[in-house]
Structure 1
Amino acid sequence: MGACVSRESMSGDSAKLILLDGTLQEFSSPIKVWQILQKHPTSFVCNSDEMDFDDAVSALSGNEELRPGQLYFVLPLTWLNHPLKAEEMAALAVKASSALTKSGGVGWVSGGGVDQEYAKSKRIVEAKTNVSGGGKGKRSFTRNLSTIAE
């Protein structure tokens, strides 16, 4: 996810942490992961630079310090070592964009879709789900994915 971070949104001397509820915490002084986990015991902390589609999400060790200029996420333990799906990655990008925008930074998402620079790096233009009635309360879901050649 680090490929989609705007330089403007990550400027400054603080580490940025996106919480489960989408709020942003900034730390201008050193803080260790274990200190964050005391407030979020059913979660783990990961570095956004190490998150990618279909790769397992890994946790930072408790003794690691958050580094200034980096973006981190607090995620539920159920996501630990879990391959990150495109929909989950997009939801995290939207959450981060919203939090960064509210704090005065530049977000990741533009025009209701994934940031174009991010899309280019991941060869994704658009992902959406079509829902149609299937009779008797059943719905049919299909995905329309578009890609761009590199």
Structure 2
Amino acid sequence: MGICSSMEATQVATAKLISQDGKLEEYPYQVKVSYVLQKHDNCFICNSDEMEFDNQVSALHEDEELQLGQIYFALPLSKLKYPLTSEEMASLAVKASSALMKSSGYSYNRKQVKPVTYTTISERKSASVRTAKDNNGTGLVTEHRRKKSGGKGRDFTSKLGAIAE
């Protein structure tokens, strides 16, 4: 038990537009494509749901409205009526993912979980993560982090050992 409170986060559905430079524009209301095109010269707007590998990219008509909850891309006119390659689709996916993460307040300072792999010290002499196996087959992982330049900091060393049962 204990005292705890819960709060429901309220998010407003928005129409999300990823520009050519990877920036995210959000519209909390339906807006016409013609309005969006005023900000994006030499571009056309396409719906991400209608984009497929090796298929032609079609533009939304100027009278159409961006729908809330949908993701759109502003692409250069040179891509209009041409199929997107897998590399171009991957590039657009990375742009969209990056823009969405930035807008959600994702911090790169969050802890990351790293998988542990077991190798011998002789195989990994130059690496910052070293592992060894002792006589009973259990593993030991030691990670040495180097100080970054500038500022005074601690040298963090973490050790992980397994207990044989």
Q: Quick one: distance in 2 between partners of 1:90 and 1:57?
A: 15
CA deviation profile, 1:49-89 (whole Å, cap 9, x unmatched): 00000000000000000000000000000000110100000
Match of 1:93 in 2: 93
Unaligned runs of 5+ in 1: 1-10, 107-150
Alignment of 1:48 onto 2:48? yes
Higher relative contact order (CA 8 A, sep 6+): 1
SS of residue paired to 1:25: strand
Match of 1:37 in 2: 37
SS of residue paired to 1:53: coil
Larger Cα-atom Rg: 2
What TM-score does the superposition give when structure 2 sets the normalisation length?
0.56
Where do residues 56-95 of structure 1 align in structure 2 (5 Å cutoff)? 56-95=56-95
What TM-score does the superposition give when structure 1 sets the normalisation length?
0.61
CA deviation profile, 1:127-146 (whole Å, cap 9, x unmatched): xxxxxxxxxxxxxxxxxxxx
Higher helix share: 1
Unaligned runs of 5+ in 2: 1-10, 107-165
Q: Check 1:93–1:105 CA distance in 2 against 1; reply closer, same or farther (3 A cut).
A: farther
Alignment of 1:104 onto 2:104? yes
Contact 1:12 1:68 in 2 (8 A): no
Match of 2:25 in 1: 25
- AA at the equivalent of 2:79: W
Percent of aligned pairs with the same amino acid:
58
Q: Quick one: distance in 2 between partners of 1:105 and 1:71?
A: 18
C-alpha RMSD of matched pairs (Å): 1.5
The structure 1 segments of at least 4 consecutive aligned residues displaced by more than 4 Å after TM superposition are none
Q: Tell me the matched-pair count.
A: 96
